[in-house]
Chains A and B, each alone.
Chain A
Amino acid sequence: MKYILMIYRDEAAFQAMEPTNTHSPAYMAYGQALQQAGALVDGRRLRPADTASTVRSKDGKVEVLDGPYSDTREQLGGYFLIDAPDLDAAIAWAARCPGAAQGAVEVRPLWEM
C-alpha cells in the first residue's frame, strides 16, 4: 500500500534550525534508509508557509489568498511518499522520521489507482 507521511512542525523554530535548502543529516539518513528498504516513492521539503498561496474557484471566479490553507503554528513542512505492506509498517517508518521528534507526522493511505 502507498502511504503519505506528512510532516508538521513549528515553522518558526524549524526555520531557525534549518534556514537553507540543504537537508539535515538526519533527514538525509532517513531518506537513504527508506531508499535502501525499497520503500521510498518520493519525498520533498516544502518552502515555508509564508510562500504559500491558497486558491479557490467559485462560480468560475478564481480567488487567491496569500498564505497557507490553515493559519496554525504547526505547518506542513514536507512529505514522504512510501510503499509499505500495512499500517504498522507505515507507522514504524513515521516514528523513525526526524519530523516525528520535532513535531508530528500524519500517516494517510492513498487511494489505490
Chain B
Amino acid sequence: MTTGDQLDVLRAADGVARDRYGKLIAILAAETRDLSAAEDALSDAFTGALVRWHKEGVPRSPEAWLLSVARRRLVDRIRHARVVEGAAGHLRLAADERADAACDEDEQIPDWRLRLMFVCAHPAIDRKVRAPLMLQTVMGLDTASIAGAFLVSPHTMTQRLVRAKRKIKLAGISFEPPDGSEVAARLDAVLDAIYAVFMQGWTDPLGGDPRRRGLAHEALWLGALAVKLAPQEPEALGLMALMLHLDARSEARRNASGDYVPLAEQDTALWDPEMIAEAEDLLGRAAGRGRIGRFQLEAAIQSAHADRRRGNATDWPAIENLYDHLHRLTGSPVVAINRAIASAERLGPEAGLRALDAIAADPRLSGYQPFWAGKAELLSKMGDQPAAAAAFDQAIALETDGAVRDYLARRRAQACQAGDGSNASLTGSS
C-alpha cells in the first residue's frame, strides 16, 4: 500500500464506483440472489474505504479490498439474520478464491455485469422496472434520481425496485448466464431495457430537465458495455449505432432561442460527425454478422437520414422499405405511422393519409401524439387546413413536452394562415 492524500482516495473510490459497481454487486449477490443486501454491504464498504484508505493509503487493488470488506459485511448480516430468524443453514457463500479470481481476470466473458443485466431483464421481472433496476444495480444510481428520470414519485420507484429485488431473491432468479440457445432472446430484453433508458433521456429534447439529462449518456455507457461483452451479437451493435445516430443530433434539436427543431428542419452542420462515423462503423459490423433485427433496422433508418449531412436528398423510398421490414418484424403501430409518412414523401399526402386511415382503428393510436401530428401535416399539405388544425389540436392535447407542444402550436398557426379566412372560426375546435 502507498500512503495517499484525500484526492487520491476519492479518485480511487470514484473510479471503482463508476466502472466496477455493477460487477461487485453481481459477485456479492450471485450466491444469495439478494441484491438489496449486496447494495447495503457495498455501500458500507465504500464508507469504510474513505476512512481507511486515507489513513493507510490506497490498496494495490481497491476493487479487491472493497469486495472482501463488503463480503465480510454480508456474511455478518447473514449470520445475524440466521440467529434472529432461525433460518436454515443451507446457505453457501461464494468461495473467496472464486470471487477474487473474478476480480482479477478483468473483462472475462461472461462478465459479471452482463449476468446482472440478464437478471434485471429476466422475463419474470416486470418490464417497466427492468430499466430502472439496471440503472440502480449495474450503475449504482440512487432511487431518487431514477424516480425523477422516469417521472414517478420516489415512493413509487422505491416500491417497484424493492418488489423486483424481492422477487429475484425469493423466486430464485439465477445469476448464471442463460443457455446458448436462449442468449439472443434474453439479450433482446437487455437491449430493450437499455433503449428504454436512452428514450427516457431522449424524449426531453431541450435537455431542460436535469433529472433526465444524463440518461441518454448512461444508456450509451450501458450500450457500449453490451457491445464489449457481446461483440458477436449484431443487435447489440445495432442498438449502439441507433443511439449514437440519435445522440449525434442532440445539438441540432433546438435553435438559438431554445425552440424545438424537428429532424427535417435541423441544421446538419450541428450533427456530431464522429458519433455518426462510429454509428456507421458499428452498423457495418452488425450487417457483417448476417442476422437482421429491430435495432439494426432502426439504425439503418437513422443512417439514411444522416446521409443528408453529405448534401444528399433523403432517400425516402429506402426509408419506406426499411420501415416496411421493421413493421413485418415488430407489427408495431408506431412503425406503421412512420411507414405511412415515408410513403407520403414518395407517393404524395393522399397515399400517406390512406395508409394512416388504414391503421387508425388500432386503439393504441388514438392517444398517440405522432399519429395526430403526422395526420395534421398530411392534411395541411393536401390543403384541408380546418381538418389539419383539428388534428394538430389532438396532437397538442396529447403531447407532454412543453417545447414540442409549442412547436405543434406554431405548425397549427401556419396551417391556419395557409388556409382561407374561414379558418378563423376554427380556433377553438378540438
Interface residues of A (CB under 8 A from B): 1, 3, 84-91, 107, 109, 112-113
Contacts and interface: CB of A to CB of B under 8 A. Distances in A.
Contacts of A113: 88
Interface string B165-190: 00000111110101000000000000
Nearest to B123: A91
A109 B172 contact: yes
Contacts of B173: 86-88
B98 interface: no
B171 A87 contact: yes
B124 interface: yes
A91 B122 CA distance: 12
Given A1-B172, A109-B170, A109-B172, A88 B90 contact: no
A13 to B, nearest CB: 27
Nearest to B174: A86
Interface string B218-245: 0000000000000000000000000000
Given A112-B88, A112-B90, A88 B178 contact: yes
B174 A85 contact: yes
A107 to B, nearest CB: 8
B172 A87 contact: yes
Interface size grouping (class) on chain B: 10 to 19
Contacts of A89: 174
A87 B124 contact: yes
Instruction: List 5 tightest A-B contacts by C-beta distance, closest first.
Output: A86-B174, A1-B172, A86-B172, A87-B172, A87-B173
A86 to B, nearest CB: 4
Contacts of A1: 172
22 contacts: A1-B172, A3-B172, A85-B172, A85-B174, A86-B172, A86-B173, A87-B122, A87-B124, A87-B171, A87-B173, A88-B173, A88-B174, A88-B178, A90-B172, A91-B123, A91-B124, A107-B171, A109-B170, A109-B171, A109-B172, A112-B88, A112-B90
Nearest to B90: A112
A87 B176 CA distance: 11
Given A91-B124, A109-B170, A86 B176 contact: yes
Given A86-B176, A87-B122, 8 more contacts: A84-B172, A85-B172, A87-B171, A88-B178, A90-B172, A91-B124, A109-B171, A112-B88
A91 B90 CA distance: 23
Interface string B77-117: 00000000000101000000000000000000000000000
B381 to A, nearest CB: 49
A1 B122 CA distance: 18
Nearest to A84: B172
